[in-house]
Amino acid sequence: MRTLDPQTVDRDVPAALDLVLDDLLARRLDEARALEGTFASDIAARVAAFTLAGGRRRRSQLLWWSLRACGGGAAETGAALRAAAAVELIQTCALVHDDVMDGSPLRRAAPALHAALDEQYGTAGRRLPLLSFGGAAAVLAGDLALAWADDAFAEVLPRSPYADGLAAEWRAMRTGMVAGQYLDLHAQATGVRSPGRALRTAVLKTARYSAVHPLVLGARLAGASERTLGALRRAGSCAGVAFQLRDDLEGVFGDPARTGKPAGEDLRDGKATCLLAVGRALCVRQGDTEGVRLLDDVVGSPDATDEDLRRVTALLAHRGARAYVTARLEGLSARAARTVRSAGLAPGPAERVVDLLLDAAGVAAPAAVDRAGTGGEPVRPGVPAVAGGVR
């Protein structure tokens, strides 16, 4: 594969990343085919295809533009693109496993990997001791993506004088992702849906993994100071929680044609989201016992009807949970933007970081966010602040 200069990568980061992924995954697929043909075609090829078709590459772009904002250039380009490829493979692992745990039939408006395998072999109705054939095979596919991610990141460390810090960040990202996913499952199993627990889950599962760690990996590759790393961690925490809040809203109010996931899936699954926790707190505060009962009866019920879901959706809007969460995510987005802009970074790349963080949170107009100050409505008495540990 030809060596890319940083200016070429700047013009189209996803395209540059795809060149690296094409080369990396072609090598992994050759190894898989040499090992065992059915495994290669059913599992390895699907992992590669899923990764190559991956979404908007936000994490990779955050890593790249953080590197550039901190002064990284030609000497770090190869290592940065390999690190970004590793991050994309971690994302593949997370999404494949997440779909199994949630029983989600769709991903990116197409059958989820486990559903595609069950469709291929006609095993959707046949159960193994733990999962369907497709579900069990998808666990292995996610494991393979994680192994390939570690292999890719291992190629980064010898190329950087900052290997120790990079390795520590990589370990923290992997472990935090698992911890956040477990808290999500734990809340669904136990029914614990407090705003504090929902926030902690959001920080571990989404904020650090989706924003903090990619930003810090890029900055570490560029040899950034601890002061700069701290600023990027704060900005990433705010933006990452805002991204999760936007995801919470999309999970209830989003259009399936745009989100690629069934409407109301988070409600049927009993996801312990900040939106639902705030909705329940507002019902309690406003003395709406019927609303509390509706949430308790419908959220987490696989038998909930479409009409039940519509009633919950209307309740969350009527009691102010939707407006409250929207205001919080706008406030956190504004804080993230200010933090990046005041961190003494290279102005052009820093603005690209800001744009990516705001876009992830669904905030389309940076100027409007800046004017919003800390953003939106004041915190209502009796409702725990959604900003939590990122205040």
Q: What gap in Å lies between CA 107 and CA 260, rounded to an integer?
A: 6
Say what the pLDDT of residue 352 is.
98
For β-strands 110-111 and 106-107, DSSP reports them as: antiparallel
Q: Can you say whether residue 260 is alpha, beta or left, with left for phi > 0 and alpha for psi between -120 and 50 degrees?
A: left
The pLDDT tens digits along the chain (391 residues) read 567 999 999 999 999 999 999 999 999 999 999 999 999 999 999 999 999 997 889 999 999 999 999 999 999 999 999 999 999 999 999 999 888 887 776 687 688 888 888 888 887 766 665 678 888 889 999 999 999 999 999 999 998 999 999 999 999 999 999 998 888 888 877 777 677 888 888 888 888 999 999 999 999 999 999 999 999 999 999 999 999 999 899 989 987 777 666 667 788 878 888 999 999 999 999 999 999 999 999 998 888 898 999 999 999 999 999 999 999 999 999 999 999 999 999 999 999 999 999 998 888 644 444 433 333 333 333 444 443 334 3
**Torsion over CA: 48, 12, 55, 206 (sign):** positive
Answer whether 280's CB lies under 8 Å from 309's CB: no
Q: How far is CA 322 from CA 21, 213, 329, 369, in A?
A: 39, 28, 11, 18
Answer whether 219's CB lies under 8 Å from 327's CB: no
* Predicted structure pTM score: 0.86
Q: Which domains does the chain have, with CATH numbers?
A: 1-160 (1.10.600.10), 165-384 (1.10.600.10)
Tell me the residue length of the chain.
Answer: 391
Largest distance between two CA atoms of the chain: 65
Answer whether 58's CB lies under 8 Å from 356's CB: yes
H/E segment holding residue 161: none
Answer whether 215's CB lies under 8 Å from 236's CB: yes
Say what the pLDDT of residue 302 is.
82
Q: Is 169 exposed, middle or buried (0-12, 13-18, 19+ CB in 10 A)?
A: buried
Q: Can you say whether residue 254 is alpha, beta or left, with left for phi > 0 and alpha for psi between -120 and 50 degrees?
A: beta
Q: What is the CA radius of gyration of the chain?
A: 21
Answer whether 347's CB lies under 8 Å from 298's CB: no
98: β partners: none
Phi, psi of 224, deg, nearest 5: -65, 155
DSSP helix/strand/coil, 127: strand
